[in-house]
Amino acid sequence: MAGSLRVFWQRVSDGIQVQEIWAQFRTDARASYELYSQEVDWTRAPGESGGKRARRVVKGLFWAMMMKLSPGRRILLLIALILLVYPGFDVRYRDTEFQMPNLAFFGGLALVVLLALELADRVTMKRDLQIAREIQGWLMPSAPPSIPGIDIAFATRPANTVAGDYYDAFLRSIVPHPEQDLLDAQDRRLLIVVGDVAGKSLPAALLMATLQASLRTLATLPLSLPELVDRLNQYVCAQNAGGRRFITAFLAELNLSTRCLTFVNAGHNWPVLKRASGTIERLEKGGLPLGISPAARYECCDTILISGDFLLIFTDGVIEAENEKEEEYGEARMLEIIHTLLGRTASDALRSLMVSVDAFVGSARQHDDITCLVLRTFAAAEPRAV
């Protein structure tokens, strides 16, 4: 009997410790509460008593949950709740007695049916989202390009199954050539991009996919970086007819022979350039986020990278990561970590930053996508990241 119970518990809990299960429950409960409570007016009206406010809030939460269901399932839920609280009663009239039994069992059964219907929808949606996540994974580079003297690492962590963040790093030419592999280093550029679509989940992921496709197409043309960004903005504006979505992005092009980094910051978080000397620069020159105005113009800027320089490009999910006290990780903590990374490989630096964010957040639910790209320059004699 004890063995059967142990097997049953292992199957139900997937071997997770009770503390972890409780932490997961608290995280899920908090996320659900935030979902429903945002539709409730919590402000106390003038002259409103505490009891009246409590009844209004409970009523608001009830309707917030009810309206998430289809009309048929709302009715099923109401029937289930009525049956659960229905006490049953006896009717006596003269010599006749009629007994109405307690129907709580049927109320519980109706709730189980409702749960099964919702689970079926969730499983179907999860399967579709998993397929979308796999497709999104194909669009992202699985490994950085191998370039002498350049060490690159990147990582992304979606808040939901699919993400609205985008990162890429690939070689392109600035002159047309029939044999791309025969191009000299002076004709090749390393294009780096990190983007963040406003919002998250499936709508943001779809816009991210269009951004990736258009960027890859435009990169095959002999365009300068400002021209490429301008055309990309035109494309995103055309896809954003409703004006509800925009994309912050940082795009940079590295000349592999001179190590001149040309960049445009389209409303994105300012990347951190830590020099080999220990000084820190912020790359902020650019313009509006992509997709806001087709007439937007973007300022381009150049800087020279030397051996030992370290560039971190990140999305706002890093610095806005929150712990259970709703405190943000913030740029100050990020910069403290960056100060300790001089001389480290790109992958080691990225790992240290992600570990720092995870330690700060703890068991709190991730509410935004997190993406980082790290680039380090080094001399040819130095070892490359492994």
Check whether residue 221 and residue 87 sit in a common domain: no
- Shared domain for 27 and 115, answered yes or no, is yes
Chain CA centroid to CA 248, Å: 14
pLDDT band, very low/low/confident/very high, at 153 (cuts 50, 70, 90): very high
Task: Categorize the per-residue pLDDT at 356 as very low, low, confident or very high, splitting at 50, 70 and 90.
Answer: very high
Q: What number of CA atoms fall less than 13 Å from residue 17's CA on the CB side?
A: 3
List the domain range (segments joined by +) for residue 94: 2-128
| For residues 178-183, average pLDDT | 46
Q: Is the pLDDT reported for residue 182 higher than 50?
A: no
Q: Are residues 95 and 149 in the same domain?
A: no
In a domain, 137, yes or no: no
Is residue 383 scored above 60 in pLDDT? no
Sheet architecture: strand order including 370-377: 150-157, 370-377, 310-314, 272-274, 280-282
- 354 lies in some domain: yes
What integer is the mean pLDDT of 178-186? 48
Whether residues 120 and 151 share a domain: the answer is no
Mean pLDDT of the chain: 82
* Position 97 confidence tier, pLDDT thresholds 50, 70, 90: low
Tell me the β-bridge partners of 99. Answer: 90
| 327 and 189 in a common domain | yes
Neighbours of 187 (CB within 10 A): 16
**Cβ atoms within 10 Å, residue 246:** 23
Q: Is residue 152 part of a domain?
A: yes
**How far is Cα 190 from Cα 13, in angstroms, rounded to an integer?**
47
Residue 124 domain-assigned (yes or no): yes
Residues 345 and 208 placed together within one structural domain of the fold: yes
Amino acid type, 281: E
Range list of H helices, 140-244? 201-219, 225-239
Tens of pLDDT, residues 284-339: 999 999 988 888 899 999 999 999 899 999 999 899 998 888 899 999 999 999 98
pLDDT of 45 reads 79
The answer as to whether 177 is a domain residue is yes
Cα–Cα distance for residue pair 175/188, rounded to 1 Å: 9
How many domains, the chain?
2
Same-domain check for residues 240 and 266 = yes
Q: Which of 128, 156, 173 is the last residue of a domain?
A: 128
| pTM across the whole model | 0.73
Q: Residue 163's Cα: distance from chain center in Å?
A: 5
Q: What is the mean pLDDT of residues 124-139?
A: 70
Locate 376 and state its tokens. 């380090």
- Nearest CA among 103, 61, 58, 109 for reference residue 82: 103
- Cα separation of 366 and 154, whole Å? 19
Q: Phi/psi class of residue 168: alpha, beta or left (left: φ > 0; alpha: ψ in -120 to 50)?
A: beta
Establish if 383 belongs to a structural domain: no
Q: Report pLDDT for 229.
A: 93
Domain edge (last residue) among 95, 128, 161: 128
CA distance 336 to 318: 14
Whether the per-residue pLDDT at 186 is higher than 60: the answer is: no
**Same domain assignment for residues 9 and 60:** yes
Q: Is residue 385 part of a domain?
A: no
Q: Which residue's structure tokens are 């007819």?
A: 241
155 and 114 part of one domain: no
CATH number for the domain that contains residue 288: 3.60.40.10
Q: Which of 128, 154, 170 is the last residue of a domain?
A: 128
Buried b (16+ CB within 10 A) or exposed e, 56-76: beeebeeeeeeeeeeeebbeb
Mean pLDDT of 24-49: 75
Range name among 48-57, 74-83, 93-102 with the lowest pLDDT average: 93-102
Residues 113 and 9 in one domain: yes
pLDDT, tens digit, 9 for 90 and up, residues 244-265: 778 899 999 999 888 999 999 9
Give the pLDDT confidence of 208-252 residue by residue, as tens digits. Answer: 888 888 888 898 888 889 999 999 998 888 876 566 778 899 999
* DSSP 3-state of 79: helix
Of 4-18, 75-89, 95-109, 170-184, the least confident: 170-184
In a domain, 134, yes or no: no
Query: What's residue 257's pLDDT?
Result: 87
**Do 283 and 328 sit in the same domain of this protein?**
yes
pLDDT band at 385 (very low <50, low <70, confident <90, very high): very low
- Burial group, residue 266, by CB count within 10 angstroms (0-12, 13-18, 19+): buried
What separation in angstroms does the CA of 381 have from each of 260, 298, 307, 377, 386? 20, 38, 11, 12, 15
Same domain, 255 and 346: yes
